[in-house]
Amino acid sequence: MNAVAPAITGFDAKALRGDFPALQQEVNGQPLIYLDNAATTQKPQAVIDALVNYYARDNSNVHRGAHALSDRATVAFENARNKVVQFINAGSSKEVLWTRGTTESINLVASSYARSVLKTGDRILVSAMEHHSNIVPWQLVAEACGAEVVPIPVSDAGELDIEAYKSLLDERVKLVAVGHVSNALGTVNPIKLIIDLAHSAGAKVLIDGAQGVPHFDVDVQALDCDFYAFSGHKMYGPTGTGVLYGKEALLEQMPPYHGGGEMIKTVSFEGTTFNDLPFKFEAGTPNIGGAVGLAAAVDYLQGLDRAALAAHERALMQYAHDKAAAFEGLKRIGCAKTIAGAFSFLLEGVHPADVGMLLDQQGIAVRTGDHCAQPIMKQFGIPGTVRASFALYNTFEDVDALFAGLEKAKTFLL
């Protein structure tokens, strides 16, 4: 049976493509089909304009100037923070820290929070499907503190084993670090359940939201997570921007992460006092233009019908799933009941890198490899996958083009 593209009302991905200049190009003589959104999304003109306007008009340093441009830059920078506060429903601007991305956000929590609380014999639980960014920082701090990083098992379908998780939750566990959505498999984890179970065992929780925020409305207060980390560039904002949400009481108790300007109140050789939140964790000149660009990305997303957007992305995923089921020789990697964003697969007998190269020749951009998730690839006994990942501007025609491209690739490779 042929897969039929459903009609989604209230969301016009084709029209929105026009907002993204990078999509209006040909690659290798073919119109670009961009399916590498889990790596980074393209940027709407509104984000590009916000960056250009900031650098063309307001560029200055923040929080310390005695002149108009510095005032303007400071207002734009702090307004951007407030926009993120509202976007994720944080309690206040004290709970939203600017970072370079998810990786730095997680390293901040590992170096500051975990390093200050972990003792010999303590445990950090991470799921076996995590991105390296949500494994290695914990390994570094565990080694320094005599603690242990323990993986939460994942089933062959790519779902977190909740019963195994429950049985791992004992008094040794001080922290649980789990991805909202797996970048390698697309699995959407039941994070509210994970958070509640961790809390009832006395552990704190960090959610790696790199692949969550681009696809879902996130309410950090409703989730009750202790930390939530995400990257601007995966949600239509600039590279080098990211956010760490942390509960105020925890951030207050945590020692500074980096030392330098901005994060201090007074400095003397007798002793230094630290700035209030959020500045205590923002040493040095921040990425001001990037924050302004990220705020423009939030505005862009909030200008859309988010429920219709989510329905569109779900329909794209279902359509790809149906096409994959009818495609001979294609094996899905990760078949969780709920998946979002990433669609991972292999063509039987073909190395994923070869598939990626042949798709690229047809103007189709996908990602191949281990997706910075080597432990889960090892569990599945594979070197990597081909990953198509969707964003708001992808259409059913893009999915058709992907499968037509795969048919063509097959004729070359098999």
> Which residues are annotated as catalytic?
372
Amino acid (1-letter code) at residue 182: S
Please say which residue, 39 or 330, places its beta carbon nearer to ligand PLP. Answer: 39
Q: Coil, strand or helix: which one is 303?
A: coil
Q: Contact at 8 Å (CB) between 162 and 193?
A: yes
Angle between helices 288-302 and 68-87 in degrees, nearest 10: 40
Please say which residue, 132 or 408, places its beta carbon nearer to ligand PLP. Answer: 132
Show Cβ contacts of residue 366 under 8 Å, excluding neighbours closer than 6 positions: 35, 36, 355, 356, 359, 386, 387, 388, 389, 402
- What is the smallest separation between the CB atom of 45 and ligand PLP, expressed in angstroms? 22
Q: Contact at 8 Å (CB) between 152 and 164?
A: yes
- What is the smallest separation between the CB atom of 336 and ligand PLP, expressed in angstroms? 15
- What is the smallest separation between the CB atom of 134 and ligand PLP, expressed in angstroms? 6
Binding site residues, ligand PLP, CB under 6 A: 38, 101-103, 131, 133-134, 179, 183, 208, 210-211, 231
- Helices and strands: H and E segment counts in the chain: 15, 17
378 phi and psi angles, rounded to 5 deg: -65, -45
CA-wise closest residue to 100 among 192, 271, 230: 230
Cα–Cα dist 359/351, whole Å: 13
52 phi and psi angles, rounded to 5 deg: -65, -45
CA-wise closest residue to 201 among 230, 233, 175, 240: 175
Q: Contact at 8 Å (CB) between 13 and 344?
A: no
- What is the smallest separation between the CB atom of 200 and ligand PLP, expressed in angstroms? 25
- What is the smallest separation between the CB atom of 188 and ligand PLP, expressed in angstroms? 12
Tokens 């108009």: give the residue: 68
Please say which residue, 112 or 134, places its beta carbon nearer to ligand PLP. Answer: 134
Please say which residue, 207 or 409, places its beta carbon nearer to ligand PLP. Answer: 207
- What is the smallest separation between the CB atom of 170 and ligand PLP, expressed in angstroms? 27
Q: Cα 354 to the chain's mean position, in Å? A: 27
Show Cβ contacts of residue 261 under 8 Å, excluding neighbours closer than 6 positions: 283, 284, 285
Please say which residue, 206 or 402, places its beta carbon nearer to ligand PLP. Answer: 206
Q: Burial letters for 13-41: b for 16+ Cβ neighbours within 10 Å, e otherwise?
A: beebbebbeebeeeeeeeebbbbbbbbbb
Please say which residue, 191 or 350, places its beta carbon nearer to ligand PLP. Answer: 191
- What is the smallest separation between the CB atom of 290 and ligand PLP, expressed in angstroms? 12
Please say which residue, 16 or 210, places its beta carbon nearer to ligand PLP. Answer: 210
Cα–Cα dist 309/177, whole Å: 28
* DSSP 8-state symbol, 212: T
